[in-house]
């Protein structure tokens, strides 16, 4: 769970306010972008939103910008200087990009406009997260299998996906990959790393097909987030649709279809398994036992300690979280309070509060594989994995494996682990992929 929510993500995935635009940046766009960034970095948040497009301004308030700026400085350190905006094509989108100098790590600002020069993209990301190539990062690709496009329908339109079939004659067992919180692409791209692409390629080598799909919040941005937005809207509904399409593909054995969730996707995997009884098994990677604002508070404390944040910086980061948690403490899910609570509507957090993945997993008929990185500081094993062990250590349906030294992405972590690990080129550890493949092959076909 290495990002916050879909409207505003602060942390190692950056500060995301909107989806990107394909419009070419004009001189007026550059002027508006420069004015917004200057105001943002000087604490003039009312001025910063002045030229946001209406649909973006409706979701992004000056208070949200303020909270975001506090979180960014908590990660990157004290702000020093804003560089000049330069045009650049990133993942198929024409944007303006500026270097941002901070005391702890370099960042980059990404701004894009619509045809009326109104700002539709406003992102602050670690500089190392910028792709080096201008080609679209989501193009179907596989080093070891046969990749093809497969669109999955959501209430807002199609979600592009990549289906990878092993070389050779099927039908093959198949896995749907379900990503973590935030508006991730199909590869779960984080800096130079693409854990879902690694999994897809490794599974194809082992004779297992896979499908990975763009999240609706990645494709449609704020349009996909309404006042009644829930975890099922973010994760479950599209996963169930994708599973039906995956099972129907030529070359896929419909009786050997699995779901693999990572982080928030793992948290929701028991519900997906509950609602699709045709699944042959459920795989959970870095699964929290609860997903709530208290979890974000614990994550924030750990990150602040790793980054040597001062007490004042930590308190500033915690303030909006504590405020949101306390405001929702006694809220009624049937009549949720209006407004946003740490960048999401009350319905979102209340849907998480009222969902218990452990209780649901105990009643699943499918076998379950639960995996955990031992050096994961976002979903800490001493807080989360030990709980899964206590609940399922003696359940013959469930296999639990912890990997010492691996991060939240199941890649080799530094010593000590650090958020900078995510931005060093790496790959999912081959042991993890092999264990997943062996477990899948050992499971019987669904009756």
For residues 91, 406, 174 and 270, what is the CA-based torsion angle, rounded to 10 degrees?
-100
The closest of 280, 274, 322 to 298, measured between CA atoms, is 322
Which token pair is 23? 């419009």
The predicted-structure confidence for 263-311, as pLDDT tens digits, reads as follows 999 999 999 999 999 999 999 999 999 988 888 888 888 888 887 778 8
Query: What pLDDT score was predicted for residue 302?
Result: 85
Highest-scoring range by mean pLDDT, 141-150, 154-163, 214-223, 262-271: 262-271
Query: What pLDDT score was predicted for residue 136?
Result: 38
Query: What pLDDT score was predicted for residue 131?
Result: 61
391 vs 73, more confident: 391
The confidence band for 127, taking pLDDT boundaries of 50, 70 and 90, is confident
Chain centre to alpha carbon of residue 234: 11
Query: What pLDDT score was predicted for residue 2?
Result: 37
Query: What pLDDT score was predicted for residue 245?
Result: 95
Name the 3-class secondary structure at 193. strand
The closest of 125, 184, 190 to 159, measured between CA atoms, is 184
Query: What pLDDT score was predicted for residue 309?
Result: 79
The predicted-structure confidence for 186-218, as pLDDT tens digits, reads as follows 999 888 899 999 999 999 999 999 999 999 888
Go through the domains of the chain in sequence order and give each one's CATH number: 15-129 (3.10.450.590), 145-292+331-442 (3.40.50.1820)
Percentage of the chain exceeding pLDDT 70: 91
Query: What pLDDT score was predicted for residue 5?
Result: 32
The closest of 95, 91, 97 to 133, measured between CA atoms, is 91
Of 50-54, 80-84, 91-95, 99-103, least confident by mean pLDDT is 91-95
Pairing of strands 152-154, 157-159: antiparallel
Percentage of the chain exceeding pLDDT 90: 48
Which token pair is 210? 């896979």
Q: CB count, 10 Å around CB of 162?
A: 24
Query: What pLDDT score was predicted for residue 273?
Result: 97
Query: What pLDDT score was predicted for residue 191?
Result: 81
The closest of 56, 74, 30, 32 to 301, measured between CA atoms, is 74
Residue labelled with tokens 């279809």 = 257
Query: What pLDDT score was predicted for residue 279?
Result: 97
Residue 166 has pLDDT above 90, yes or no: yes
Residue 420 has pLDDT above 60, yes or no: yes
Q: What is the spatial distance between Cα 428 and Cα 204, in angstroms, rounded to a whole number?
A: 14
Burial class (CB in 10 A: 0-12, 13-18, 19+), 116: exposed
- What DSSP letter does each residue of 10-77 carry, written as one string? -STT-EE-S----SPP-HHHHHHHHHHHHHHHTT-HHHHTTTB-HHHHTT--HHHHHHHHHHHHHHH-
Query: What pLDDT score was predicted for residue 372?
Result: 98
∠ CA 361-362-367 to the nearest 5 degrees? 65
Q: CB count, 10 Å around CB of 308?
A: 9
The confidence band for 375, taking pLDDT boundaries of 50, 70 and 90, is very high
């Amino acid at each position: 769970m290495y990002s916050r929510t879909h409207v505003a993500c602060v942390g190692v995935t950056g500060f995301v306010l909107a989806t990107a635009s394909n419009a070419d940046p004009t001189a007026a766009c550059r002027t508006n972008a420069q004015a917004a960034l200057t105001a943002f970095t000087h604490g003039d948040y009312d001025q910063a939103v002045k030229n946001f497009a209406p649909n973006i301004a409706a979701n992004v308030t000056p208070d949200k910008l303020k909270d975001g700026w506090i979180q960014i400085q908590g990660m990157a350190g004290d702000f020093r200087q804003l560089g000049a905006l330069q045009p650049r094509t990133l993942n198929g989108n024409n944007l303006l990009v500026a270097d941002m100098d901070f005391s702890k790590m370099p960042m980059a600002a990404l701004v894009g406009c619509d045809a009326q020069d109104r700002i539709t993209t406003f992102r602050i990301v670690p500089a190392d997260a910028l792709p080096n190539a201008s080609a679209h990062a989501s193009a179907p690709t596989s080093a070891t299998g046969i990749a093809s496009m497969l669109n999955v329908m959501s209430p807002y339109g199609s979600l592009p996906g990549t289906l990878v079939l092993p070389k050779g004659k099927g039908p093959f067992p198949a896995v749907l990959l379900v990503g973590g919180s935030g508006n991730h692409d199909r590869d779960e791209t984080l800096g130079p790393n693409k854990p879902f692409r690694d999994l897809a390629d490794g599974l194809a080598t082992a004779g297992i097909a896979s499908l990975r799909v763009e999240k609706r919040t990645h494709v449609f941005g704020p349009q996909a987030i309404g006042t009644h937005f829930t975890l099922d809207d973010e994760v479950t509904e599209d996963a169930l649709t994708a599973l039906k399409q995956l099972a129907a593909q030529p070359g896929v054995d419909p009786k050997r279809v699995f779901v693999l969730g990572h982080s928030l996707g793992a948290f929701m995997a028991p519900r997906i398994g509950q609602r699709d009884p045709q699944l042959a098994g459920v795989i959970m990677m870095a699964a929290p036992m609860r997903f709530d604002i208290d979890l974000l508070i614990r994550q924030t404390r750990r990150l602040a300690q790793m980054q040597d944040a001062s007490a004042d910086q930590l308190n500033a980061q915690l303030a909006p979280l504590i405020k949101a948690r306390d405001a929702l403490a006694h809220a009624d899910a049937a009549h949720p309070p209006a407004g946003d609570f740490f960048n999401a509507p009350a319905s979102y957090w209340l849907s998480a509060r009222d969902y218990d993945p452990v209780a649901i997993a105990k009643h699943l008929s499918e076998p379950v594989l639960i995996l955990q990185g031992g050096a994961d500081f976002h979903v800490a094993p001493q807080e989360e994995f030990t709980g899964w062990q206590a609940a399922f250590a003696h359940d013959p349906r469930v296999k639990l494996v912890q990997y010492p030294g691996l991060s939240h992405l199941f890649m080799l972590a530094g010593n000590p682990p650090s958020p900078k690990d995510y931005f060093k080129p790496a790959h999912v550890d081959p042991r993890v992929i092999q264990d997943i493949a062996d477990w899948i092959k050992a499971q019987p076909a669904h009756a």
